Amino acid sequence: MPEGGTDRRAVIAGAAVFAGAVVASAIWARLEQGTGGTGEGFDPGFAGVLPSLGDGPPFRLTVAEVDITPGHGVSMIGYGYKPRLSNGRCARRLRAQCAVLRDPDGRVLVLVRVDAGALAYDVYRSIVDTLVAEGIVAAASDFMINISHTHSGPALGMHPDPRVLTQLPDEGIGGVQATAEAFKNKVIDLVRAAHRAPGEPVLLAHAVGRAEVGMLRWVQGLSGPTELPVLIARNADNGKLEAVIYSYPCHPVCRGNDTVFDADFCGVASTVISAELKAPALFLQGTGGNVDPVGQGGGEARVHLVGQALAEAVVKTVRDTRFGRIKGGLDAAIDEVALPFAPDLSNADAVAQLRRRYQERIIQLQAGPTKDGAARRHAELMVALIDAGRLPRGVEMTTQVWRLGELRIVGMAHEVVNAYTGYVRRLAESDDVWVLGYTNHVECYLPSDAGLTSGGYAAGWNEESGRYFPGVAGSVMGYGWPAPLRSTLDAKPGAPGVEEMVLQRLERLLRIG
Ligand SMILES: [Zn+2]
């Protein structure tokens, strides 16, 4: 059932959640009243997480959340090509949820997950720099923010470019910046509040369940990934479940293209899991760049079908699977690099050629709320950037590895396709690895090299455009970049394609701890 609501109610509700009950234990304590307390219905999975002698001191955990649903008239991101400003209604609230984890030696890792479509690199950078400056985390490696990729959320930056996708006029850019600023401040305040709390002593354990709610995009009739990693935190003193963190790779596109805010299937899933298990549930987006939810069309029925099925799979995993206890401390490492484009944009001739092709496109294509109109608008923006000498030379890429005892959590920026989960597992020589896409910032697709060399939506080029130029309605156009990313076809010694660049960095990061 949609909650409905107006802009004003959304704002007020957000303020109330934030001011009154940031620390989630209060919220969940209320939820538990009338249920007779914890433990009901829990069985075999939990038994494996009970404390036993000699296992060492527990971790400490604080979980908190805040409503981040914006109001009406806000530029939304996820679909093209007609104008798309929020109408003030909200089907399921957009939340930021935070888990502050401390190991017995005092190492602090801060995980945030948000219901949002994408997040600009500079907004991420500003959040993490603030947290480091305030001493909340020791370094950027110790903070991770995962973006759900709901297609019913606000624009939080200019990649994807709402001027291209939704005809946002230039005067609307200030509004996008204001929305991003408000988002940033809410996330920082959330982390500050969660960090101030002493946290609960917890035992951590993980298991892998099975969910069948995804199907491959672009490949007719093929079912998607089934792995469902789940991490649980159980109170070391009283056994109470303190948090369920789970990940699945899949596009939150069940609602479809309208102007209502919606956390989509992951919002339903976390609400159902929380009601069922009496603990906060945090969804983390996996390598879902090429995965869609099962079902057809858009609307409430599909949001519920997928969300409910995912929730049931998580609850079943928690109840029926034997969890492996996490022992040992926390560690983290991070790396940043700019992913290069296929043409060498430090070369003046290559830039001049790019400009010629964009000018041809402006002449050929009609303006309007269509894919052609979007491609024309994109071309105009690129010519303006070239003429101003402000063409970007690459796309920032962050790769990150957290170690929780034996478990490693890999966070990769952008819309990472599912093939990377296998690549990372092989590098790690272990199955005890979670691979997350959509982490820290989301500003493009990260296809595999095979995807980049063969073209298509994620690669951002097609037969007609060729591999140095964005195809009409491809992802490079929508995200507002000048050209597709570099594949092995354009790699040179010392200048590899982006897949190799990313995997080389991850190989180094995986050696931590
Ligand atoms: Zn996407």
Q: How far is the CA of 508 from the centre of ligand 1 (A)?
A: 28
pLDDT, one tens digit per residue, over 204-260 is: 999 999 999 999 999 888 899 999 999 999 999 888 999 999 999 999 999 999 999
Q: How far is the CA of 35 from the centre of ligand 1 (A)?
A: 39
- CA separation (Å) from 415 to 171, 446, 486? 28, 6, 16
Query: Above pLDDT 70, what percent of the chain?
Result: 89
User: Which residue shows structure tokens 């991490």?
Assistant: 231
Task: Classify each residue of 331-366 as buried b or exposed e, where b means 16 or more C-beta atoms within 10 Å of its C-beta.
Answer: bbbbbebebbbbbbbeeeebbeebbebbeebbeebe
Whether the predicted pLDDT of 398 surpasses 60: yes
Q: How far is the CA of 193 from the centre of ligand 1 (A)?
A: 31
Q: How far is the CA of 289 from the centre of ligand 1 (A)?
A: 6
Whether the predicted pLDDT of 1 surpasses 70: no
Contacts of 389 (CB under 8 A, 6+ apart): none
pLDDT, one tens digit per residue, over 145-157 is: 999 999 999 999 9
Beta strands in 68-211 (DSSP E): 76-77, 90-92, 95-102, 108-114, 143-147, 153-154, 200-210
Residue 21: pLDDT band by 50, 70, 90 thresholds? very low
Greatest CA span in the chain, whole angstroms? 75
What are the two backbone dihedrals, phi and then psi, of residue 382, each rounded to the nearest 5 degrees? -70, -40
Q: How far is the CA of 415 from the centre of ligand 1 (A)?
A: 6
Whether the predicted pLDDT of 50 surpasses 80: no
pTM of the model: 0.91
Q: Which candidate, 19, 31, 16, places its Cα nearest to that of 280?
A: 31
pLDDT, one tens digit per residue, over 421-467 is: 999 999 999 989 999 999 999 999 999 999 999 999 999 999 999 99
Q: How far is the CA of 131 from the centre of ligand 1 (A)?
A: 28
Q: How far is the CA of 251 from the centre of ligand 1 (A)?
A: 6
Whether the predicted pLDDT of 417 surpasses 80: yes
Q: How far is the CA of 26 from the centre of ligand 1 (A)?
A: 35
Residue 513: pLDDT band by 50, 70, 90 thresholds? low
**Weakest mean pLDDT among 129-143, 310-324, 331-345:** 310-324
Q: How far is the CA of 104 from the centre of ligand 1 (A)?
A: 39
Q: How far is the CA of 234 from the centre of ligand 1 (A)?
A: 34
